[in-house]
Amino acid sequence: MSATRTAKTIGNAMITAVALIATAIAALMLLPGLLGLDRYVITGGSMSGTFERGALVFERQVPVADLRVGDVITYLPPAESGITELVTHRIISIEPAPAGTDSPIFQTQGDANESADPWTFALEDAVQPRVEGWLPEVGWIFIGLAEPLTRVLVIGIPAGIVALLCLRDVISALRGSKTTGTPVPPDPNAGVPVLTPAPTPSGQVVT
């Protein structure tokens, strides 16, 4: 196999690999939304044993009234907890709504924690994200893509390589067309014998 053919084969393989990776990432980003799901990346270890750090969890918005003990939800703890980031924990108790309110009182606990979360809370919205499934380790992709440098390395450089390979193929095709030129159609009269009129007795040619 010539060096040119080897390089072209490697280039085509790279294009295919980048296209597959880009398609997979796009599917993970767009498909959950099309299916009515939210996605969250697990960055802590409090649910270890169920799903680990780096898992990508998919959640569906359900009515608060449909929540049950044992469901895993993602929510923002009350301000007095001092926690300012979303938490994904399991519901361990649901108390009836206090008089004059519509929302029950919930308490949660991480599956890897020895004790319940030291706060209770009500949900202000009518619907709440509830975990429906997850993919292990996939969340690291989204964590990495959050960094500009990583986006350049993972997306920008492969995209640039693909663009250069496509440009190379276009230039090669143009050079090939200039070298071969435009084919000249065959003469329809080629090979047909030309009949010369016979002279008259007077020696003149009748046309």
Would you give per-residue pLDDT tens digits along the chain (207 residues)?
566 677 667 767 766 776 677 677 667 667 776 777 898 999 999 999 999 999 999 999 999 999 999 999 999 999 999 999 999 999 999 999 988 888 899 999 999 999 999 999 999 899 999 999 999 998 888 777 766 665 566 666 666 766 777 777 778 778 776 665 555 566 565 555 555 454 544 444 433
In a domain, 84, yes or no: no
Six-digit token pair at 36? 């009515």
In a domain, 161, yes or no: yes
- Does the predicted TM-score (pTM) go above 0.85? no
In a domain, 15, yes or no: yes
In a domain, 40, yes or no: no
In a domain, 51, yes or no: no
In a domain, 162, yes or no: yes
Question: Rounded to an integer, what distance in angstroms lies between the CA atom of residue 13 and that of residue 4?
Answer: 14
Q: What local confidence, expressed as pLDDT, does residue 200 receive?
A: 46
Q: What local confidence, expressed as pLDDT, does residue 205 receive?
A: 40
Q: What local confidence, expressed as pLDDT, does residue 169 receive?
A: 75
In a domain, 191, yes or no: no
Q: What local confidence, expressed as pLDDT, does residue 121 receive?
A: 96
- Where do runs of H (alpha helix) occur along 86-135? none
The answer to whether 41 touches 32, Cβ cutoff 8 Å, is no
87-95 and 72-75 strand pairing: antiparallel
Residue in this structure with the two tokens 């250069």, named with its chain if needed: 164
* Residues 32, 34, 37, 43, Cα dihedral to 10°: 30
Question: Rounded to an integer, what distance in angstroms lies between the CA atom of residue 86 and that of residue 158?
Answer: 34
Six-digit token pair at 68? 């049950």
The answer to whether 172 touches 178, Cβ cutoff 8 Å, is no
Domain boundaries, position 8 = 1-35+141-175
Residue in this structure with the two tokens 């016979």, named with its chain if needed: 198
| Number of compact structural domains in the chain | 1
In a domain, 74, yes or no: no
